[in-house]
Amino acid sequence: MSTRVAILISGGGSNMVALARSMTGDHPARPVLVLSNRPDAGGLDKARALDIPTDFVDHRPFGQDRASFDDALQARLAEAAPDLICCAGFMRILTAGFVETWTGRMLNIHPSLLPKYRGLNTHARALAAGDAEHGCTVHLVTPELDDGPILGQARVPVQDRDTAETLAARVLEMEHRLYPAVLRRFVDGETAPLCLP
Ligand code: GRF
């Protein structure tokens, strides 16, 4: 039986598309739900075009009540009965209670070489620091933001003329390679960190 994967998104969903496209043929996993916290996330249309069930739980009516939002997310996930969750550009901070429900079964991609630059604006921060290389990380989700055991990293050289936008675009290309590669290994039981390129 295939490993059932739910993908959480907030935006354009390019990482979701890369993951979904990888889960075909002899891949041991299949996408069973793409779930967004934004009804207008561009990734929802892309998932529908790939024939993946979609839904959203709009975070806005919940205001500051993160626990109730996470309960609603959990209820929708339970219907899809995933074995694993992949956060792919999912821009909500999850409560410890939710994260603990999925310990060891929830992955995230972050656009920096963790432990550097947790949080937002990672590309601008790498440039401001004068870093020679930047990149992205796939890790298991733990209650601390952008923390948790690292499952894979991809390095991207910083170029003299890079702006945050040009650097972000090259990192995103690597995200699309790294995340499917790590997911495949993870489903096969491999948790030793993968290093790309
Ligand atoms: C990616 O860079 C991801 O790492 C970050 O947000 C971006 C989302 O892109 N957290 P997409 O929605 O997968 O296109």
pLDDT for 117 equals 98
For residues 79 and 2, the answer to whether their CB atoms sit within 8 Å is no
What is the chain's pLDDT, residue by residue, as a tens digit (197 residues)?
899 999 999 999 999 999 999 999 999 999 999 999 999 999 999 999 999 999 999 999 999 999 999 999 999 999 999 999 999 999 999 999 999 999 999 999 999 999 999 999 999 999 999 999 999 999 999 999 999 999 999 999 999 999 999 999 999 999 999 999 999 999 999 999 999 99
**Alpha-carbon gap, residue 64 to 133, rounded angstroms:** 37
**Alpha-carbon gap, residue 187 to 155, rounded angstroms:** 23
**Alpha-carbon gap, residue 81 to 87, rounded angstroms:** 16
Question: How far, in Å, is the centroid of ligand 1 from the Cα of 10?
Answer: 9
pLDDT for 6 equals 99
Give, using CA atoms, the residue closest to atom 9 of ligand 1. Answer: 89
Q: Exposed (0-12), middle (13-18) or buried (19+): which is 189, by Cβ within 10 Å?
A: exposed
For residues 31 and 52, the answer to whether their CB atoms sit within 8 Å is yes
Amino acid found at 197 = P
pTM for the model? 0.97
CA nearest neighbour of 6 among 38, 31, 43, 36: 31
* Long-range contacts, stretch 167-174, CB < 8 angstroms, 24+ apart: 167/123, 167/126, 167/127, 167/134, 168/111, 168/123, 171/111, 171/123, 171/134, 171/135, 171/136, 172/14, 172/111, 174/135, 174/136
**Pocket flag, ligand 1, residue 146 (CB < 6 Å):** no
Which structural domains are found in the chain, ordered by start? Answer: 3-108+138-150+179-190 (3.40.50.170)
Examine the residue annotation and report whether 176 is marked as an active-site residue of this protein.
Answer: no
Q: Which two tokens stand for residue 128?
A: 């401001």
Question: How far, in Å, is the centroid of ligand 1 from the Cα of 129?
Answer: 22
Q: Determine the atom of ligand 1 nearest the C-alpha atom of 43.
A: 12
pLDDT for 69 equals 98
